[in-house]
Amino acid sequence: MKINRYPLAFLLFCCLMSFGLGAFLNRPETPSITAAAIGQAQKLIGLEFTPSETDSMLSSLEEQRVAYGKLRAIPLTNDVVPALVFNPLPVGFQFEKERKPFKTAVQPGKVTLPASRADLAFYSVNQLAYLVRTRQLSSVELTRFFLERLKTHGPRLQCTITLTEELALQQAQRADQEIKAGKYRGPLHGIPYGAKDLLATKGYKTTWGAGPYRDQIIDADATVIQKLEAAGAVLVAKLTLGALAMGDVWFGGMTRNPWDPARGSSGSSAGSASAVAAGLVPFAIGTETLGSIVSPSSVCGTTGLRPTFGRVSRTGGMALTWSMDKIGPICRRVEDCAIVFDALIGPDGKDPSVRDAPFNYDGTRKLTGIRVGYLKNDFERDYPTQAFDQATLQKLRELGVELIPLELPDLPSRDLSFIIDVESAAAFDELTRSNGDDLMTRQGKNDWPNTFRAARFIPAVEYIQANRHRTRLIEAMAEKLKDIDVYISPSFGNRNLMVTNLTGHPCVVLPNGFRPEGTPTSITFMGQLFGEATLLTVAKAYQEATDFHLKHPKE
């Protein structure tokens, strides 16, 4: 049997870590790779080699083990991207050619200050923007208001890692000066926000939520931080995330769900969703590799937009899985997501995955002509939130939507999930080799430290083959959606979350009900690649026909 010797060499090295690092330093005392060791290693990959084939490998494997050591001696920081760039576009995909002005819905009358200033906590971005633009409320006043809420409620929810108070007040003062001088930048000008603490911010710690990095300072601003500053937004806090973007447990504790503080907020954009739901910030920035915007938004009752892969630059953000990481807004309303998203999109010349595609959002657009599908079999099965989801489908029908039955491609998806393991293990290779992973708060069987270790035994051939299956999945999804603009899916309990994170499709998740105990449920709207404008139109129409997004937890 003929195989590629390089991936096998990599696997064998991982299997033989007990030999130590002597070979990498060319120490003569390091044991040689033996035929017996190869015999054990091949059990892991389900292959079998003859004695003569095994003997022929030995010298090549020794050479490769030395090469690994030489490469490892050259530092690779987390911001160094692989030479391979994931492309989510199926063959023949065409972007919209025309670029149209960004347009929000018409404001329903003038916005005024509430009788109780506390009510400002749950105003939309658009409403707050009107107050700031008309100078009924200064950005400094608004910023101090949200800083005070973060100080009051943040410790209880464990949703804040660092308050950026000095920076925030500087940005707010500048916003007030510019607005007074007639230099209005747009609806985010003077509006406070929080950022998931895996986005680098100059002058402040960027901890990635993990003990080994709790004192890390990156002397740069992530591209999304720069873009929001250019839009005039005011950064008030670096918000919690599950350690290295998993779950809601970070080095300081567990981020809490404002609807039930005895429970976690889910993750990994834990603090972003918790803070928005509790009215501690008007909007926040989250990230998703596999559910990290969808899940906390569902648990906390926020509205989250996971963009198409390649929409928003990840420069300055912690890399976890280069071919799946995405950055998007977490807000209370769909149109808030559109406003923030419009400020984030576009290339920065640094992230090679980002494409310069139009975002032609029109908040006044009607549902007429938009083709909407739904995952029929998934909605018809028995699951805990089925009644809420059926009510969502009925509401869409009442809005005049003709729902088209749809099913996902019958191709592997969950079996491809080890793509995440391989890429994340590479992103944190040095952490594993240095035993720095022992400093991580969570050390369970399925937590990152063990996932990174186990991933060392995944052959490179299988990783490449998985991505070839991923190509087939991309093409099959394009075929399934050729006559669909948007489709609806249960948020959890089916294959949709895994499939669409692999294919790079965008989604909006928003609340669609409340359980008897008072915690929110959610529904997911899916869009075409780079079809966020139409996706947001449909999600907005549903949201505005309900009032779930207007409810908020008790303080």
125 & 16 share domain? no
CB 485 within 8 A of CB 39: no
In CATH, what number is assigned to the domain containing residue 130?
Answer: 3.90.1300.10
59 & 136 share domain? no
Residues 416, 418, 420, 426, CA torsion sign: negative
Dig out the tokens for 517 from the structure: 């105990």
132 & 15 share domain? no
59 & 124 share domain? no
Dig out the tokens for 486 from the structure: 């948007």
Considering the domain boundaries, does residue 431 fall inside one?
no
Considering the domain boundaries, does residue 63 fall inside one?
yes
Total domains present in the chain: 2
> Roughly what angle, to the nearest 10 degrees, separates helices 51-72 and 5-15?
80
Q: Which of 124, 196, 266, 323 is catalytic?
A: 196
Tokens 């270790």: give the residue.
453
Residues 6+ apart with CB under 8 A from 472: 411
- Concatenating the DSSP letter of every residue in 337-370 gives HHHHHHHHBB--SS-TT--------BTT--STT-
Exposed, middle or buried by CB within 10 Å (0-12, 13-18, 19+), for 131? Answer: buried
Considering the domain boundaries, does residue 200 fall inside one?
yes
* DSSP secondary structure code for residue 104 in this structure: P
Residues 139, 140, 145, 151, CA torsion sign: positive
H or E segment and range at residue 317: none
CB 295: neighbour CB atoms within 10 A?
Answer: 26
First-last CA distance in the chain: 66
Active site annotation includes 268: yes
End position of a domain, from candidates 41, 74, 107: 74
Spatial distance between the Cα atoms of 313 and 316, rounded to a whole number of angstroms: 9
Exposed, middle or buried by CB within 10 Å (0-12, 13-18, 19+), for 453? Answer: middle
291 & 378 share domain? yes
Tokens 């959002």: give the residue.
361
122 & 68 share domain? no
Q: Which of 139, 265, 268, 353 is catalytic?
A: 268
328 & 406 share domain? yes
173 & 282 share domain? yes
Q: Is 55 helix (H, G, I), strand (E, B) or coil?
A: helix
Considering the domain boundaries, does residue 211 fall inside one?
yes
Q: Which of 265, 266, 272, 292 is catalytic?
A: 292
371 & 476 share domain? yes
Dig out the tokens for 117 from the structure: 């200033």
Q: For 51, what's the count of Cα atoms within 13 Å in the CB-facing half-sphere?
A: 0
* DSSP secondary structure code for residue 107 in this structure: P
CB 143 within 8 A of CB 169: yes
Whole-model pTM: value is: 0.93
145 & 53 share domain? no
pLDDT per residue, tens digit, the chain (555 aa), is 333 333 434 344 344 333 333 333 344 445 689 999 999 998 988 999 999 999 999 999 999 999 999 999 999 999 999 999 999 999 999 999 999 999 998 765 689 999 999 999 999 999 999 999 999 999 999 999 999 999 999 999 999 999 999 999 999 999 999 999 999 999 999 999 999 999 999 999 999 999 999 999 999 999 999 999 999 999 999 999 999 999 999 999 999 999 999 999 999 999 999 999 999 999 999 999 999 999 999 999 999 999 999 999 999 999 999 999 999 999 999 999 999 999 999 999 999 999 999 999 999 999 999 999 999 999 999 999 999 999 999 999 999 999 999 999 999 999 999 999 999 999 999 999 999 999 998 999 999 999 999 999 999 999 999 999 999 999 999 999 999 999 999 999 999 999 999 999 999 999 999 999 999 999 999 999 999 999 999 999 999 999 999 999 998
End position of a domain, from candidates 74, 104, 135: 74
Active site annotation includes 292: yes
Considering the domain boundaries, does residue 425 fall inside one?
no
Q: Is 196 helix (H, G, I), strand (E, B) or coil?
A: strand
Considering the domain boundaries, does residue 361 fall inside one?
yes
Domain extent at residue 64: 1-74
Q: For 114, what's the count of Cα atoms within 13 Å in the CB-facing half-sphere?
A: 11
Spatial distance between the Cα atoms of 55 and 125, rounded to a whole number of angstroms: 67
Considering the domain boundaries, does residue 287 fall inside one?
yes
Considering the domain boundaries, does residue 284 fall inside one?
yes
Amino acid at 111: V
252 & 382 share domain? yes
Amino acid at 282: P
127 & 60 share domain? no
Spatial distance between the Cα atoms of 477 and 489, rounded to a whole number of angstroms: 14
CB 340 within 8 A of CB 188: yes
